């Protein structure tokens, strides 16, 4: 912004004081180009920001779905199961899916402390959320074979089991499909070229006031692009990313309350 202000001041000085182009009509007509391009750039930025926000909101909806799925599974198992050891297993494993998924999306290592009280080994070379989902389904199947869960109850639990994988797949789709680089690069070049040509036309109407005006326009346009870049990947540790770690801890709290 400081450099844009200095650049605008230099252009204003050259046109008004050095070249004295105030009576040159063809220079004044540059504003017509800005009026036409301003509409185009506004459409591009609106589309860019909306696309990035849709990715952020889709990620939030999927994690909201994970919260509901974990609660529903814990609620149903708390009623169906009578053995305390079985409940203790799910009290540990169900919230661990959210914790493992959160680290999986951030490419972090999974802490072995998550599974201290559970007979479960995680292969770090394989897809970790799938291993947790497999362990949950395998335990439910064992309980079915042991006659602790009926066939009807197994069918009731199936929707929650499927939802785990659906949430994971949707989050991976958002993470692994970024906005095309060519599209983002074009908007940056467009903003830069648009702002650099602004002082040439408007300096005759605004005089040296063109300096703060151009700086403010650059601030608005560049900020919209930076906001879109900030939120298009919602699974990180930036301030504007989704609070997935907090959501995972909330899931753990809810599951413990339901299965105690």
Q: Between helices 128-145 and 84-105, what is the axis angle to 10°?
A: 160
Question: Tens digits of per-residue pLDDT, 201-254?
Answer: 788 777 888 889 999 999 999 999 999 988 998 998 888 899 999 999 999 999
pLDDT band at residue 61, thresholds of 50, 70 and 90?
very high
Q: Which of 78-92, 119-133, 209-223 has the lowest mean pLDDT?
A: 119-133
Q: What is the mean pLDDT of residues 150-177?
A: 89
Q: How confident is the model at residue 169 (pLDDT cuts 50, 70, 90)?
A: very high
pTM: 0.82
- pLDDT at residue 50, as a whole number: 92
For 38-58, write each residue's pLDDT tens digit.
888 888 888 889 999 999 999
């Amino acid at each position: 912004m400081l450099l844009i202000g200095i650049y605008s001041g230099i252009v204003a000085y050259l046109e008004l004081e050095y070249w004295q182009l105030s009576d040159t009509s063809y220079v004044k007509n540059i504003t017509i180009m800005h009026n036409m391009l301003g509409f185009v750039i506004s459409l591009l930025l609106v589309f860019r920001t909306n696309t990035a926000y849709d990715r952020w909101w889709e990620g939030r909806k999927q994690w909201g779905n994970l919260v509901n799925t974990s609660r529903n599974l814990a609620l149903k198992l708390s009623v169906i199961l009578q053995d305390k050891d079985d409940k203790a297993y799910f009290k540990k494993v169900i919230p661990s899916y959210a914790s493992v998924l959160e680290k999986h999306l951030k490419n972090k290592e999974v802490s072995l402390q998550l599974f201290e009280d559970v007979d479960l080994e995680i292969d770090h070379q394989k897809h970790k959320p799938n291993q947790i989902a497999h362990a949950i389904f395998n335990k439910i199947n064992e309980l079915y074979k042991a006659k602790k869960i009926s066939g009807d109850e197994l069918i009731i639990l199936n929707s929650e089991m499927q939802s785990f994988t659906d949430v994971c797949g949707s989050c991976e789709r958002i993470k692994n499909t970024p906005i095309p680089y060519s599209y983002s690069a074009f908007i940056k070049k467009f903003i830069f070229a648009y702002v650099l040509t602004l002082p040439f036309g408007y300096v005759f109407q605004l005089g040296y006031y063109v300096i703060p005006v151009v700086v403010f326009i650059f601030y608005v346009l560049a900020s919209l692009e930076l906001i879109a870049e900030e939120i298009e990947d919602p699974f990180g540790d930036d301030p504007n990313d989704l609070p997935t770690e907090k959501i995972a801890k909330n899931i753990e709290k809810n599951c413990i309350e339901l299965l105690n």
